[in-house]
Chains A and B, each alone.
Chain A
Amino acid sequence: MSQFSRTWWGQRFITALEEFTDPGRLSRGRSYASGSKVKSFTIQDGLVTAQVRGSVNPYYGVYKEPLYITTIEFQPISPAKWAAVIALVASKAGLISKLLLNEIPDNIEESFTLLGLHLLPQSRKDFIAHCSCPDYSNPCKHIAGVYYLVAADLDRDPFLLFELRGLSREDLHKELAKSPLGQALVAELQLAQHPPEALASYHTQPRAIAVKKAPGLRDFWHGAKRLPATIEPLPETLVAGIPVKKQGDFPAFWNRENSFLAAMETIYEQVRHKNPGLD
């Protein structure tokens, strides 16, 4: 039931909702989220606002597709407490290293617990949701649908979680900047995302150059430098795919449940050992 999130924090986030919502509404919520029912969706200052297309239902007298406004707001943590939490988090290299790699450390809650707080929602007390639909139940299927989409966003941007709990990006950076470890994280976070790198061709395009001066015969046939006398032996690779392994498993673009690294490892090994073209 976790197709909206593959990260432990996204799943925990979803579990919180699923514990107090009836299965029928959850399942319709999921189909709302995966279909194109959620028309627009914004998160601003911790407030999630969405427009959700309702369904035509003559039985209830709804003949035209309605548009409902759905909002979800999470219980904010006070600025003072945030400052204390961030100071704690920034005192652990392991936590900062994981955040640096765009991950919520799995033991982050320990720091929150010390201050009597928690980061991920645990019960319905942790968020307030509204929907303009006629459903008496809260959360309704529209709320559930939007909630699933938030979970999916958390996978890609774990820092959204802080924002939802009332700590804006600027404040996060400010608090982090108070410790040396935090500064390291800020420096990384402030690296801008590049625009897509537009290429003129799929492969590097072989340029042709006009012949200005005829080359010497030796340069033409033999080249300017002599080739090495021997060929280096092939390297022995005991562990496959080290460059990709450094980035950890489940990169953001990997939309599957099974391990990305395991798949890469198989590809590297197949290429090395099963490809007759490399004999």
Chain B
Amino acid sequence: MQILHGTWIPQAGEEFVQSGGFYLWVETTERKRFRKPSQRHPYQMTADNLLELLVKELGIAAPAERQLKSLISTKYFLLPTVEQQPLPSLELSRYLEADLPDEFELQYWQVDCYQTLAPAKTYGLANNVVSLLNDLHFIALHNLAEIQLGSDLLFWFHYTQALKRIIFRDQYIPALKYRDLEPAKLARKKRATSASRKTSPQTRRSTAKTAAKTKATATTQTIDSGKFEIYPAWEFIGEEYETTIQQYVDYMPLVCAAGFSEPRDPIEFYDRETLLRHFAECLLNDIVTHTPTTQAFNKTIADSLLASCLQPNPQPWTYAQGLDLYKQWQTWRDRIRRTQTEQSFDLYFKLQDPIKPEDPWELQFQIAPKADPSARLALQDYWQLRPKQRQQVQKQMGNGFEQYLLMNLGYAARIYPALWEGLDTDQPTGIRLDLDAAFDFLKEAAWVLENAGYKVVVPAWWTPEGRRRAKVRLKARGKSLSGGEDKTKKYFSLENLVEYQYELAIGGEKVTEQEWNQLVTAKTPLVKFRGQWMELDQDKMRQMLEFWKTQQQENPELSLLDFLKLTAGEGEELEVEVDRQDALSEMLTKLGDKSQLQPVDNPKTLQGNLREYQKRGVSWLQYLEQIGLNGCLADDMGLGKTVQVIARLLQERELAKKQRIKNLPPTLLVAPTSVVGNWYHEIEKFAPGLKAAIHHGTERARSAQEFKQACRENDVIITSFALARKDIKLFGDIQWHRVVLDEAQNIKNPKADLTKSILKLNANHRLALTGTPIENRLLDLWSIFNFLNPGYLGNQTQFRRNFELPIQKANDPRQSITLKKLVEPFILRRVKTDQSIIKDLPDKVEQKLYCNLTKEQASLYEAVVKDITTQIEEVEGIHRKGLILATLTKLKQICNHPMQFLQDGSDFTPERSHKLMRLTEMVQEAIDEGESMLIFTQFTELGASLEKYLRHTCHYNTYYLHGGTSRKKREQMISEFQDPETEPSIFVLSLKAGGVGITLTKANRVFHFDRWWNPAVEDQATDRAFRIGQSKNVFVHKFVAMGTLEERIDEMIQDKKKLAGSIVGADESWLTELDNNAFRKLIALNRSAIME
């Protein structure tokens, strides 16, 4: 893994104009050997490799090899160091074995860096950090290269994007910087600065020298014995810039302030705020001065302040006129600043339309205190007030109210000159506008005034909500919903057609061609039509008319899917209308607002009760299938997707029975190997009437005939993704009633064989299940939709062009809304924080996760069992007790992971334990959701392995608390975990250490990796994440190894619980009371629960 780092490093020295550079460097896991003693960072990517990475992997254009090489230089970073070795960054440390120490020193390390410069369109090189970081962020986001952005670069990416927004709002002006060269003052200042800053004597000497030299040149070159220099520049203005700086000071990692062009002694960091300002100012000047302009334009600014400011290397002015210019500029700048500062009232412009179309429009001036916008007052009324009342209002509006009011009116008149007319009095109240002027106001001036900080009130019919537009309306109604005599056919009816016709409409009302033509030929852009004002875009209306005419002859039928696609593109010119009485309308309502769905009745054959939201979920599944659409159930992990699917399977059988339909074809359920067993277990538990079979393992059906037989005999076939690919020949031959993909993100890679196989399955219905927020991962989303409704989101290339690039690279909100509209009807996602869900849930939601043993685990387990069965007969008393307890421990270790039992340092990999595999999948889902969690185990050594695995292999932020953790360390870990600024993290705890006195309420998931024999102890641990009275739900996931003693003990605990559970002691010693036979039964392995 390679971590891309970078930061802004100011130029060394104390020149008046001090620039800097943005430098990238790469931290790797591979250790370099440099000749000792060396201060070169041993894990850096050195110059040649860095160049190769930049060009080959990151696509940084190389105009000329030599030029690119010249951008590589050595910089110094003050980094945490232990024993003469720099510590890895937190990002990289998750790829390394070693643990990070608590104590460290700081030391400068030499690093080969690439400076982000690219040939500018004008000439020379310009800093291209803004666009480069945007590209790198995109590359990293899509894992297009084996790189990860360090938090430092991520910070700069955010900061540069924030600055870009400010630049795009034109919040900067040409500026002049005044430098006082008066020797007395200068010397004093120098003394003061060198006293306050501990620079080395050497630096101080050189500073004095430079200052003297500059002074000498200044005096010889100027006529008026220049005591000053004035430099042209650009500067940011406005509050947005200032708040951005303050905000980013808090976000900024210290490593961003740790880069230097020369090492310092004693060691120093840069101050965050001044570094951020330095970067922003340098960047602004670099960007503006490198912006290409035309020759013609340059002529229009020749010999002006702007021409000087656009020079990339500012040359100072030293002559007297320069000072005059400076003073004029300063007054101007101060005025701009003043208009940007806070006033305690807002000035409003309110446009009022006339009742009679031929009358003039009114633009009223109004005022309101900022603190209380509801106290809006028209100036017309203000001037009428008696002196005392007026004083009261003035008090409310703040100091110098009338002065500011006038200035504001004056400034407003500058940008909207029509206002001058209203200022020809000592008591301005407003102006009158004719129709054209009113239209101009609405189209442009209103917007400009609003951007200039004024408030504008326009008539409701102009607002986006109230605006009536001329549109082509697609009038649609459902076709096949009513028809069809054949019940079976109707039941399986998949293709719903939509009949439609186009009409011309304004504000949702049909308009005749004649009326339309009248409007098209109207002389004004604003007309009063059917009693209401509206804007006409006559060119567009002409086009719409043409379109409407051509559409008259076309085939007026659409599939429901195409219809949904069309409605998502609805907007400016097209509007879709569905008759409210029509079934199609009801359908759209239900798809759009899923709370409209009637919850189903609890299926009679279901062993258990669905929660309210689960009943709605089943209803949605049913509804979608009924209208022939395929959806994705994306409820949060723990909300019970499994049981909703099972309920749907039962419900459809109950319905079919009523309609006397026999033999529904089987449903194929494809899931990750780690949950195949759980599915089977859940079906057995909730729906014993359903016939389910697992297609997995060496004993599975091999021939088509055998497999078809199995399909005929069963309602559900459960298989894993791996076998779905391997046995695609068998699966592809069957016409499935339904294919369900659990953890559907497994098919996110469209090129994988697995995905291609899954797409070959034939089924009447398709359903995807996932707990990850797929709408944020566009490629996953496309792939899942390609399975559900092929073609709906276009092919992959189209999707990339239409959505992926605009949304994830250009940050285009419009496309992201369109995509949301497209997919929304097909996704049902409830999160556990939804108010409606919370009220359906108990505070603690307990869930058991049944996992199979792997073959390796099973053979180890059987060996231990075999061993004990003979031994147990031979021992008695304390020895027997000891033997039993030791056996229990061994078996539990095996259920967890073979490595824990073998203690041979073998690999702690998920392939050897389904428990670990399932945990890995669930942890990832939870982290993706931004959740923190606790994982409990009773074995200290397993806790250590788990933590190491989650940190080093999965790269999460983890903590581990066990009996040996010091009190100080424990408290530090807890407060870090609890800190809202800490990323979602995993806290691994040993059951005993994590028992009492610890609050870890940031976690909203708790995993029990192995079972304790006393539910009270588990509950007590669970309560770490849960405090009475807090309004959040905690999900508790308990792992149970199927067919092993864990499952049997779980059953016993359940029974004991029912019997008021007092026999169950605090530990497992009560188990030693069992007789040999009972004990053998307890530990025996049920072979059917093994999976490879």
Least distance between A113 CB and chain B CB atoms (Å): 15
Least distance between A213 CB and chain B CB atoms (Å): 10
Q: Residue A61 at the B interface, CB < 8 A?
A: no
Q: Residue A135 at the B interface, CB < 8 A?
A: no
Contacts of B291 in A (CB 8 A): 267, 270-271, 274-275
Q: Residue B908 at the A interface, CB < 8 A?
A: no
- With A200-B189, A246-B415, A277-B287 as given contacts, are A223 and B254 in contact (CB-CB < 8 Å)? yes
On whether the beta carbons of A242 and B448 are closer than 8 Å, the reply is yes
Cα A255 to Cα B78 with chains together (Å):
49
* A220-277 contacts to B (CB < 8 Å): 220-228, 231-235, 237-248, 251-256, 258, 260, 262-264, 266-268, 270-272, 274-277
Least distance between B231 CB and chain A CB atoms (Å): 6
- With A193-B331, A243-B339 as given contacts, are A203 and B281 in contact (CB-CB < 8 Å)? yes
Cα A266 to Cα B375 with chains together (Å):
40
On whether the beta carbons of A237 and B270 are closer than 8 Å, the reply is no
- With A245-B414, A275-B290 as given contacts, are A220 and B255 in contact (CB-CB < 8 Å)? yes
Q: Residue B214 at the A interface, CB < 8 A?
A: no
Q: Residue B377 at the A interface, CB < 8 A?
A: no
On whether the beta carbons of B335 and A274 are closer than 8 Å, the reply is no
Least distance between A112 CB and chain B CB atoms (Å): 16
The residue of chain B having its C-beta at the shortest distance from the C-beta of A262 within the complex is B300
Q: Residue A188 at the B interface, CB < 8 A?
A: yes
On whether the beta carbons of A193 and B327 are closer than 8 Å, the reply is yes
- With A209-B270, A277-B130, A278-B131 as given contacts, are A197 and B303 in contact (CB-CB < 8 Å)? no
On whether the beta carbons of B10 and A206 are closer than 8 Å, the reply is yes
Contacts of A97 in B (CB 8 A): 406-407, 409-410, 413, 423
Q: Residue B1051 at the A interface, CB < 8 A?
A: no
- With A203-B282, A242-B448 as given contacts, are A247 and B410 in contact (CB-CB < 8 Å)? no
Contacts of A225 in B (CB 8 A): 250-251, 981
On whether the beta carbons of B409 and A93 are closer than 8 Å, the reply is yes
Least distance between B266 CB and chain A CB atoms (Å): 6
On whether the beta carbons of A198 and B179 are closer than 8 Å, the reply is yes
- With A179-B426, A246-B339 as given contacts, are A197 and B330 in contact (CB-CB < 8 Å)? yes
Least distance between B400 CB and chain A CB atoms (Å): 6
Q: Residue B123 at the A interface, CB < 8 A?
A: no
Cα A275 to Cα B318 with chains together (Å):
32
On whether the beta carbons of A206 and B452 are closer than 8 Å, the reply is no
Q: Can you list, as one digit per residue, whether each of B687-716 has a CB less than 8 Å from chain A (1) or not (0)?
A: 000000000000000000000000000000
On whether the beta carbons of B303 and A181 are closer than 8 Å, the reply is no
Q: Can you list, as one digit per residue, whether each of B405-424 has a CB less than 8 Å from chain A (1) or not (0)?
A: 01101110111000011111
Cα A235 to Cα B18 with chains together (Å):
31
Q: Residue A80 at the B interface, CB < 8 A?
A: no
Cα A223 to Cα B250 with chains together (Å):
7
On whether the beta carbons of A208 and B330 are closer than 8 Å, the reply is no
Interface size class of B (residues with CB under 8 A): 35 or more
Contacts of A237 in B (CB 8 A): 168-170
Which of B98-106, B936-944, B1024-1032 has 4 or more CB atoms under 8 Å from chain A?
B98-106
Contacts of A279 in B (CB 8 A): 130-131, 134
On whether the beta carbons of A271 and B288 are closer than 8 Å, the reply is yes
Least distance between B26 CB and chain A CB atoms (Å): 15
On whether the beta carbons of A256 and B304 are closer than 8 Å, the reply is yes
Q: Residue B91 at the A interface, CB < 8 A?
A: yes
The residue of chain A having its C-beta at the shortest distance from the C-beta of B258 within the complex is A220
Q: Residue B167 at the A interface, CB < 8 A?
A: yes
On whether the beta carbons of A202 and B233 are closer than 8 Å, the reply is yes
The residue of chain B having its C-beta at the shortest distance from the C-beta of A236 within the complex is B168
* A153-194 contacts to B (CB < 8 Å): 156, 179-181, 183-184, 187-188, 193-194
Q: Can you list, as one digit per residue, whether each of B153-175 has a CB less than 8 Å from chain A (1) or not (0)?
A: 01100100110110111110110
On whether the beta carbons of A267 and B306 are closer than 8 Å, the reply is yes
Cα A221 to Cα B251 with chains together (Å):
11
Q: Residue B126 at the A interface, CB < 8 A?
A: yes
Q: Residue B177 at the A interface, CB < 8 A?
A: yes
Cα A225 to Cα B274 with chains together (Å):
19
The residue of chain A having its C-beta at the shortest distance from the C-beta of B411 within the complex is A246
On whether the beta carbons of B251 and A278 are closer than 8 Å, the reply is no
On whether the beta carbons of A188 and B407 are closer than 8 Å, the reply is yes
Least distance between A246 CB and chain B CB atoms (Å): 4
Across the interface, B410 reaches (CB within 8 A) one of A100, A200, A228, A268, namely A100
- Looking at B150, B162, B171, B301, the one whose CB has the most chain A CB atoms below 10 A away is B301
The residue of chain A having its C-beta at the shortest distance from the C-beta of B137 within the complex is A231
Across the interface, A244 reaches (CB within 8 A) one of B130, B173, B400, namely B173
Sample of 10 further A-B pairs with CB below 8 A, known A184-B403, A221-B91: A100-B406, A196-B327, A202-B233, A206-B278, A207-B271, A221-B150, A225-B250, A226-B982, A227-B251, A244-B170
The 29 listed contacts between A and B (C-beta, < 8 Å) are: A90-B426, A94-B420, A94-B423, A94-B425, A100-B410, A196-B228, A196-B323, A200-B193, A202-B17, A202-B177, A203-B282, A207-B197, A208-B264, A220-B80, A221-B253, A227-B251, A231-B161, A232-B811, A235-B169, A237-B170, A238-B447, A252-B328, A255-B303, A256-B304, A264-B174, A267-B291, A270-B292, A272-B167, A276-B121
Interface residues of A (CB under 8 A from B): 90-98, 100-101, 156, 179-181, 183-184, 187-188, 193-194, 196-211, 214-215, 217-228, 231-235, 237-248, 251-256, 258, 260, 262-264, 266-268, 270-272, 274-279
